[in-house]
Structure 1
């Protein structure tokens, strides 16, 4: 026998005993390896080859010397056999006392175990939901203990007293929101110049303390004053600009009229000088001066006319701008009023629903809290839902859903 095999003879037998002891339980001897399991691989007497490797999502396992092996769906025994077949064709080298020794690994020298199973998941009414490491023999009771036990704050038990307090808070909040929305509608209508008698009556009938209603009204009245002040400032600014434009237009009209009258006078004077020139009573210089004066006055008259038209255009734009601001404000207020009315309808529905629930819970509360707490446990395994108890044994990748419920007796408390 070769030196390498001689040194491992005693170790191989021990490895076989260990492997046999690990897989003595028939159930776990048939366990199928799945993605997420971590495999511990070693070869007796060769510590350099010892390695832990996880089965990837494709079901493959990567090991030294063997490379990538398809492991999903195999038992540990099947995996050892497969590895033995692969490694029997590979030559292994390791340094001896004074030389490099070469040998082939035999199947009885390979040890494979599951170092880590896929975790189990505990969900529902527990203190610490989430994943937990799996170990053979783990029961639902043990997994529940590791998850911190039951958590009543997470539970979906419908306690009438707790429900009543919660619903009362929601009911009051809904009325507060409704009063705010109603006050907002009232403010928007006042800004639009509409009547608000109906809103005043509804606000007076809201079942809230007078102090709360007064605070809501004060806030909306303050907002009304702010909005009105902002609008008045913007409009007054535009009106002042319009007044200035009107003054400028009047001045330009007077100037244009004056320039026109001056031009007419210059033209009359030019005609008189022209007649005198034809009679030989006026020199050429006099005629030229008169012509220049007429030309200058015509240009000035034309400039005044252009400036007057520009002033008229600016005045019209100013009037249009004022109307535009008013129309934009009206459109904005109408849009906000529509949204506020829609919100009020939603709040009315919320109030009705909360009121109905409160009445129902109040009736249940009057019946008392007699009853027992029931624990429902469901295990999801490979896509199938399984009913279970606290002593049910779990398997890797199981999902445990724990639900607490309160079974009330419909009998009054004696």
Structure 2
């Protein structure tokens, strides 16, 4: 082993630190009463899936997370791989403390220099950072793995996994997840309230003047949420009604204006037609006089021009009256289409909203029945706790053993727990039916 050359000041600091650490490690290695040791500490052996942590006192930057791979090996810095599967942590710690002090740790200083530090056996700490999980199967709400911690009992593991599966008893159906059902119930209640509020709005659009009845909305909605839904729909109705009234008023104004213009132009066309008729008669009279050489040609030209002008003016006024009449008729048709289209669209939307609301109502009833069935089953299960059968499958030196477990039995990492609720499904159905009455 090669020792590093250091200054006296650094040596003194290093010696002081080592003395303090030595005293700490000596106190840490004093015997511990047997009653204070967990059963896990005496019988647990490392396997693939465990994670251990290596740290060295005095070298805080050395803190390594080391997983145990599928081959049962753990890769340590400087040392390399060690076969740890099947070994107790104390055995692995002994191997590491025997081999790691053969190396010198070099650390780079702030001034880009290197300092070397010897690694002492009593400075090496090795602990289990993460245990491999336990696995739950059978009549459990969420089957699968549960993170292990020392002292974990079957009761606690089942609680983390959502409790016993009650709806699946006797028929191997998927488990009831109460939390998800409750969230689903709230989501359905919100959507139902939205559709119900939309139905109210559409009924008012159709002129039915329906008032809001809060008792018809889901009771599990908070007043704040319900108020927000109703306020939004009321605002929608107000804006929609305002837009409709504005468009309707504009068309009514167009109709009134076109009607008045049509009347004026019709009267004007009648007057100008009569004037054109008189000008035409005057032109015929002047032409007769011109033939008798009683009027000059200029007079004929003047009268003819006046007759053509009055006739043209009468025709233009008549066309304008026809156009005004068409504008009047088109505005009336637009107003009728506005009324009809609005009612048709509202009626169609109302039919769809009612159908969707009924579908949501059916889903809500189903979710409520499932929750009630779960509650009834839970009550029955509490009364029949003796009918819960639990088996623990645990690996040991002889392979795998099957143990009979109870709810307060402590588990070990890697245990597989199988739960069987020996309860007649008809009993739960009867309890659920009673709860729904």
TM value normalised by structure 1? 0.51
User: Which residues of 2 match residues 195-344 of structure 1 at below 5 A?
Assistant: 196=210, 200=213, 203=216, 206=219, 208=221, 212-344=225-357
State the secondary structure of the residue aligned to 2:295.
coil
For 2:374, the equivalent position in structure 1 comes to 361
Residue 373 of structure 1 deviates from its aligned partner by 7.2
Correspondence for 2:200: 186
Partners in 2 of 1:178 and 1:280 — Cα distance?
A: 97
Q: Could you give the per-residue CA deviations for residues 205-258 of structure 1, whole angstroms, max 9, x where no partner exists? A: 856455554443333222211211121122222222333333332332233123
**CA distance, structure 2, for counterparts of residue 207 and residue 136 of structure 1:** 53
User: 2-side partners of 1:403 and 1:315: how far apart?
Assistant: 85
Question: In the alignment, which residue of structure 2 is the partner of 1:159?
Answer: 163
Matches within 5 A, 1:377-396: none
- Whether the 8 Å contact between 1:182 and 1:344 is mirrored in structure 2 is yes
| 1:348 alignment counterpart | 361
State the alpha-carbon separation in 1 of the partners of residues 416 and 316 from structure 2: 91
Counterparts of 1:324 and 1:291 in 2: how far apart (Å)? 49
Change (3 A) 1:238 1:160: farther
Contact 2:255 2:331 in 1 (8 A): yes
After TM superposition, give the deviation of residue 275 of structure 1 in Å. Answer: 3.4
Gapped regions of structure 2 (runs ≥ 5): 1-48, 51-68, 74-84, 87-129, 145-160, 166-175, 394-398, 402-414, 428-437
Q: For the structure 1 residues 403 and 273, does the alpha-carbon distance in structure 2 shift closer, same or farther, using more than 3 Å as the test?
A: farther
**In 1, Cα distance between the equivalents of 2:194 and 2:422?**
41
Superposed CA deviations along residues 119-152 of structure 1, whole A, max 9, x for unmatched, are xxxxxxx99xxxxx98699xxx99xxx9964588
Supply the distance in 1 between the matched residues of 2:392 and 2:186 (Cα, whole angstroms). Answer: 33
The whole-number CA distance in structure 1 between the counterparts of 2:184 and 2:377 is 18
1:185–1:341 contact (8 Å) kept in structure 2: yes
SS of the equivalent of 1:260 reads helix
CA contact (8 A) 1:180 1:216 kept: yes
**TM-superposed deviation, 1:263:** 0.3
3-state secondary structure, aligned to 2:299: helix
Q: Distance in 2 between matches of 1:364 and 1:258?
A: 95
In structure 1, the residue matched to 2:405 is none
Residues 155, 403 of structure 1: 8 Å contact kept: no
Contact in 2 for aligned 1:273/1:282 (Cα 8 Å): yes
CA-based RMSD of the aligned residues comes to 4.4
Q: CA distance change for structure 1 residues 206 and 222 in 2, over 3 Å: closer, same or farther?
A: same
Distance 1:134 1:205, change over 3 A: closer
For 1:383, the equivalent position in structure 2 comes to none
Change (3 A) 1:169 1:259: same
Distance in 2, matches of 1:135 and 1:334, equals: 70
The 8 Å contact of residues 160 and 361 in structure 1, kept in 2 or not, is answered as no
Provide the C-alpha distance between the structure 1 equivalents of 2:337 and 2:283, rounded to a whole number of angstroms.
51
TM-score, L = length of structure 2: 0.49
- The match for 1:169 among 155, 163, 183 is 183
Q: Distance in 2 between matches of 1:215 and 1:166?
A: 24
Deviation at 1:175, TM superposition (A): 2.6
1:343 deviation in Å? 0.9
Partner residue of 2:390 out of 352, 368, 372 = 372
